[in-house]
């Protein structure tokens, strides 16, 4: 690790107090008072979320299975890789397997961790784990939640990556997972 990337011990905040301000079905919110490195106090509003997992279902012919769904906060359809929220105590790999089956009707002989990401680290403690699903078996039987409506879209990975680069795929986890997959596959092909 280069010296510039070594942890900086002074870049810390100590929580002094925490007050729950919202408890919901998907997330909770607290208002924390923290002590800064210069000795002053500040307020931090924090979203508490159990995290999630997403999966890039890669077919033998180099296509990915994506889901198109309406996202209420942005009032538009999005194109995303299958993903879902972790249940409390659930392992990310279990979540990825479940979401692959539920959303696109897929099963994979191999699931490879691509890494994790913090979607909004300024105020949300959520961590999303990204997986690549290989040796995919398509069962074509979705098992969606009662309030979940989506279409499965099959497209070449190269087209999905191009859509990311053209700003046509806005979802952060999808962008990162697709780009990591493309990078991984490109490096596997090098002699």
Q: Specify whether 100 is located in the same domain as 123.
A: yes
3 pLDDT tier (thresholds 50, 70, 90): low
Q: Specify whether 117 is located in the same domain as 97.
A: yes
Q: Specify whether 39 is located in the same domain as 76.
A: no
Segment 75-98 shows an average pLDDT of 95
Segment 152-156 shows an average pLDDT of 96
Mean pLDDT of the chain: 93
Angle at 53 between CA 133 and CA 164, to 5 degrees: 70
5 pLDDT tier (thresholds 50, 70, 90): confident
Looking at the structure of the chain, the number of domains it has is 2
pLDDT at 36: 96
Q: How far are the Cα atoms of 70, 115, 137, 165 from residue 112, in angstroms, in the given order?
A: 28, 9, 16, 24
Structure pTM?
A: 0.92
Q: Specify whether 106 is located in the same domain as 143.
A: yes
Q: Specify whether 98 is located in the same domain as 12.
A: no
Q: What is the pLDDT of residues 164-190, one digit of tens each?
A: 999 999 999 999 999 999 999 999 887
Q: Specify whether 115 is located in the same domain as 43.
A: no
Phi-psi region of 128 (alpha: psi -120 to 50; beta: other; left: phi over 0): beta
**167: domain range?**
52-189
Tell me the β-bridge partners of 99. Answer: none
Q: String of b and e for 23-54 (b: at least 16 CB within 10 Å)? A: eeeeeebbeeebeeeeeeeeeeebbebbbbbb
């Amino acid at each position: 690790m280069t010296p510039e990337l070594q942890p900086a011990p002074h870049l810390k905040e100590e929580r002094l107090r925490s007050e729950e301000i919202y408890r919901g079905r998907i997330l909770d919110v607290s208002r924390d008072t923290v002590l800064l490195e210069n000795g002053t106090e500040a307020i931090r509003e924090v979203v508490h979320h159990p995290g999630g997992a997403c999966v890039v279902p890669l077919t033998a012919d180099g296509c990915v299975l994506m889901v198109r769904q309406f996202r209420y906060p942005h009032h538009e359809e999005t194109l995303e890789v299958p993903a879902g929220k972790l249940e409390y105590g659930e392992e990310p790999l279990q979540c990825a397997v479940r979401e692959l089956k539920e959303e696109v009707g897929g099963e994979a002989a191999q699931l490879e961790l691509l890494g994790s990401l913090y979607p909004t680290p300024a105020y949300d403690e959520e961590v999303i784990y990204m997986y690549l699903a290989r040796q995919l078996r398509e069962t074509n039987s979705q098992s969606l939640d009662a309030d979940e409506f989506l279409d499965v879209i099959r497209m070449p990975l190269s087209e999905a990556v191009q859509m990311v680069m053209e700003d046509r795929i806005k979802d952060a986890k999808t962008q990162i997972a697709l780009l990591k997959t493309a990078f991984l596959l490109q490096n596997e092909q090098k002699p």
